[in-house]
Structure 1
Amino acid sequence: MKFKKLSSLFLAMTITSSAIFTGCSSTNQDSTAGSSNDTKGTTELIWYMIGTPQPDQDKVMEEVNKYTAEKIGVTLDLRMVDWGDYGQKMQVITSSGEPFDICFASDYALNAQKGAYLELSDLLESKGKELKETINPLFLEGATINGNLYGIPANKEVGQQLGWAYNKKMAEEAGVLEAMENAKTLEDLEPILEKVKAKFPNLKMPMAAGSGFFPYMPYDYLLGENLPFGIALDGDTTKIVNIYEQENVKNTLDTLRRFYQKGYIHSQAATDTDPHEMSVENWFVRKEQYAPGAVEMWSSNAKYDVGYTPSHDPLTINNSVTGSVMSISAASKNPEKAMEFLNLLNTDEYLRNLIDRGIEGVHYTTNEDKTITKTKDADKYSMPSWALGNVFLTKNYDTDAKDRIEQYEEFNSQAVASPTLGFYADTSKISTEIATISNIVQEFKAPLFTGSVDTDKYLEQLNDKLKAAGIDEVMKELQSQYDKWMAEQK
């Protein structure tokens, strides 16, 4: 991919944005009638987060609420929704107008343009000043859609990189460790999986794949992976295409079909919403998104060595700067308090670590070098750290690389910018068609990408349905907007 490297200014900001603000001073005990009951002068906020509900969640949130009540007059009703169910559940919630306050923003741009999220520019200025100073400003720029900001991105790695995480011990025992260290594509995995399957015939998932499985392919997906509109990262970067009409996508689907038929992907994968925790050794290889420190974190959580091989260089796309965003619901009755909480979460070291790492002395202990060590109860509380805000505030585990911040700098220095970075399509004129097309893609996506169905037959059916739903007109509208945007960039 021959795109422009990110500027040195961007990289410098990545490191300077790690400055830690602790103990924000805003303490407002006023309460307002809102999305839930107010007691003792505090406002309760309903907060939806992606991730597996945790056994010790209530115990941790009790401590969180003591702290936030004292600091900003807020308590949290944290509602975790499992990985495979989150997107659909939030669509139902936002469509119905059910009141809530804060959420992890799935399909950020689409839902923002649908009116699901509150515009935050003024609130950020009035209630999020410390946050604005802390976060890399280019993250805020990347999350701005047609001049409007609808969420607060996590301050973390700027590039996105997908690749293959794998069980190193299994790789050694199957004699494929060196091959795995060099495996970039699905096709590279095929002879490896054959040997792993022969060595471990009872292994449930040589490749861990479920209903949400979507391997890396060289496209920037303009409206997310649940829609078919893409710009090729290799080739013509000026034309929007239906990815399901592209030869390299068909080749990917054909490979996955072979994997399924050979037993590398398990038979119920198309309907499987299990997140497949790494700690359960019933898999060999899986697609993962990398960030500095990820390998150490995976290995620590799994309690065995996990390896990783990237499929591509770090790529900065709209999704990499908006793939982890907290938004305030347009239906929230407590938007100012919600922003106060997001401000505190992203600037207060104690709160950030309490929500992320758990309770000191219960889920971890602190060492003399300021690193932390997991206790035997750490498994009762494990959160998606990357989704919770400013990662530069998080404490290092003793298993983390000591140069974690430097790794972020190196990772971001390798990032290249997608040709569509900064382009957000206005879907207001085609919202009905977009909704129909999304439903069609989701009907076919899981069966196709788990290899569970005949590729040629189902791909033809998918494209026929997309044609009938008006995909050509939608692509014409998107192309017109993209052409105009490209001309403005020049």
Structure 2
Amino acid sequence: MNQLLRTMLLLSLVAVLLLAGCQSAEQADSDGASTPPDNASSSAAAESTGALEPVHLKYYFFGATKPGDEAVFAAINAILKKEINTTVDFIKVPNGDYTQKMSIMVNAQEEFDLAFTSPYYLNYFEHAAKGSFVDLTELLPEYAPQTYAELKPQIWDAARVNGNIYASINQQIFARQSGFSINKMLADKYRFDPASVRELADLIPFLEQVKAGEPAADTDQLYNAQMKNQVFTYFYPYYEWESIGGTDVPGIASSTEARPRVFNEYETPEFKSFILTLAEFQKKGLIAKDALTRPTFDATKYAAAPIATLMPGIEEIVKKTHDAEQYVIPLGEPILTSPNAIATMTAVSSTSRHPERALMVIEQLNTNKELFNTLVWGIEGVDYKKVGDNRVESLAGAPYSKAYGWMFGNEFNSYVSGTQPDDVWEQTKALNDSATVSTLFGFSFDPDSVKAESANCAAIVNEYRAAFNTGMYADETEQKYEEFLAKLKTAGVDKVLAEKQKQLDAFLAN
């Protein structure tokens, strides 16, 4: 009798559990919500696309729109649909307008899902601190486990703001070494020694020779001024400097000193020399006269350009950019800093209705080689052809323009091309591992107590930056420079510097 009773109770319990499970499933269906995976693998959660409801996302990044974009994005969506039942609007924003446009969208709480961010574009530290991005600290290991496991904990620490991670780091070159590229044909023609270049001013004699000796139609933009970018920061690794809390707000420190002092980078001889040299460039006609209003620039006309990041295979990259063989001049030695480790990231907007699915897209970008190379290279037979197991060549007249692999996920999944060595990504990993590690590595600044002063200083930097970068102030540059520094003082730059120093001292003490 006891045995019979136990059996009946057991059957009753099973029936209750089954009913509860059915009701939970029905509730999930009626809510229209997908059940999150209960383990660390997003692929396990999507053994079939039927396990996930169809979702459509919006993904913003910078770049120029090209005729072949639509076909490539359709091919990518076919892969995403198959793998995680997801489609994505890939939305390009012109390079120079990206931060401004995205900041307006973020501040307006416009709904979107994914966006490129860094200390330089759509300031990661600022937007993480004010809640523009989803906290991914717990979500990354759950919905993008392979992406998370690929990087050392030390690298993830560079992305922490108040202890939390607010964007996925794109795997690429982390060590930074800056430099210049110089058109090889022109340098050889005018017998210019690239090794003589140690600073920006050293380019003037060469560029003047080209200006005088080449047709006027080819010399209207001999130097790449990158008017809206933080070009001065390209040279930080050379100076062994490191930005703190993004590049729009003054306040940096030495990467190698045991007890670094925070200082205003705009109040240094290096910055003053930088803007005075660019003013000379402008007066000599080495930078486009209409640089501030010109809608597009022709990179094939540049006789010289600054390079933010040297890396194995860089010669092939700059050759493609400028459509000509280039000399590459390195400055300083490679160094690993927090801003450089997080120089390219993908964030999930706090307005996203599907942050988990957005993380699954990030996982696909980092682990699905077919998807990644479609996004970078385009469609095989249309935009490129394979000339080896992992080597490709872009096709002449291809409708799709090769994208920056470092912008989207794990660049080490990319095909190689041209003069890049077959083991370029192994070399890149080795360089990352061997670079000098900054004293400040892992430090992140919390701007909350100087939020107003930081915003005011950033507005002033942005007010003057494009004109400084293009030398447009010409003979008035020194006067404008003093005016610029005075405005920063009024905006509260000293208070910002003091707070940065206070937080840095506390970090070093621990």
TM-score, normalised with respect to structure 1: 0.87
The aligned runs of 1:272-351 (5 Å cut-off) are 272=294, 274=296, 276-278=297-299, 281-289=300-308, 290-351=310-371
Distance change (3 Å), C-alpha of 1:257 and 1:322: same
SS of the equivalent of 2:304 reads strand
CA contact (8 A) 2:258 2:439 kept: no
CA contact (8 A) 1:43 1:75 kept: yes
CA contact (8 A) 1:210 1:273 kept: no
Distance 2:262 2:273 in 1: 20
Distance 1:414 1:226 in 2: 29
SS of the equivalent of 2:312 reads coil
The aligned runs of 1:188-267 (5 Å cut-off) are 188-200=202-214, 202=216, 203-213=219-229, 214-215=231-232, 216-217=235-236, 218=239, 219-232=241-254, 238-267=260-289
Q: Once the 2 structures are TM-superposed, how far is the Cα of residue 349 of structure 1 from its aligned partner?
A: 1.0
Q: Once the 2 structures are TM-superposed, how far is the Cα of residue 306 of structure 1 from its aligned partner?
A: 2.1
Structure-2 residue corresponding to 1:383: 403
Distance change (3 Å), C-alpha of 1:81 and 1:485: same
Q: Once the 2 structures are TM-superposed, how far is the Cα of residue 115 of structure 1 from its aligned partner?
A: 1.0
Structure-1 residue corresponding to 2:134: 118
The aligned runs of 1:7-22 (5 Å cut-off) are none
2:198 corresponds to 1:184: yes
CA contact (8 A) 1:136 1:155 kept: no
The aligned runs of 1:111-190 (5 Å cut-off) are 111-176=127-192, 179-190=193-204
Distance 1:241 1:448 in 2: 20
Q: Once the 2 structures are TM-superposed, how far is the Cα of residue 233 of structure 1 from its aligned partner?
A: 5.1
Distance change (3 Å), C-alpha of 1:171 and 1:132: same
Structure with the bigger percentage of helix: 2
For residues 401-430 of structure 1, give each alpha carbon's deviation from its aligned partner in whole angstroms, at most 9, with x where no partner exists: 223134314533552223322211111111
CA contact (8 A) 1:231 1:237 kept: no
**452, 461, 477: which one aligns with 1:441:** 461
Q: Once the 2 structures are TM-superposed, how far is the Cα of residue 137 of structure 1 from its aligned partner?
A: 3.8
CA RMSD between the two structures = 2.4
Distance change (3 Å), C-alpha of 1:237 and 1:201: farther
Structure-2 residue corresponding to 1:56: 68
Structure-2 residue corresponding to 1:4: none
Distance 1:301 1:238 in 2: 37
SS of the equivalent of 1:78 reads strand
Distance change (3 Å), C-alpha of 1:273 and 1:139: farther
Structure-2 residue corresponding to 1:7: none
Structure-2 residue corresponding to 1:20: none
CA contact (8 A) 1:297 1:399 kept: no
Q: Once the 2 structures are TM-superposed, how far is the Cα of residue 167 of structure 1 from its aligned partner?
A: 1.4
Distance 1:421 1:270 in 2: 36
**77, 91, 107: which one aligns with 1:79:** 91
Structure-1 residue corresponding to 2:116: 104
For residues 224-254 of structure 1, give each alpha carbon's deviation from its aligned partner in whole angstroms, at most 9, with x where no partner exists: 3322212145879622111222222212222
What letter corresponds to residue 432 of structure 1 in structure 2? A
Structure-1 residue corresponding to 2:498: 476
Distance 1:30 1:430 in 2: 49
Distance 1:149 1:277 in 2: 38
SS of the equivalent of 2:263 reads strand
Q: Once the 2 structures are TM-superposed, how far is the Cα of residue 272 of structure 1 from its aligned partner?
A: 4.8
SS of the equivalent of 1:327 reads strand
SS of the equivalent of 2:393 reads strand
Give the paired residue count: 454
Structure 1 residues without counterparts, runs of 5 or longer = 1-22, 33-40
Distance 2:141 2:130 in 1: 24
2:482 corresponds to 1:460: yes
What letter corresponds to residue 75 of structure 1 in structure 2? T
Task: Indicate the larger mover: 433-442 or 444-453.
Answer: 444-453
TM-score, normalised with respect to structure 2: 0.83
Distance 1:395 1:251 in 2: 40
Distance 2:143 2:423 in 1: 33
Distance 1:483 1:370 in 2: 47
SS of the equivalent of 1:442 reads helix
SS of the equivalent of 2:486 reads helix
Q: Once the 2 structures are TM-superposed, how far is the Cα of residue 25 of structure 1 from its aligned partner?
A: 5.3
Distance 2:281 2:387 in 1: 46
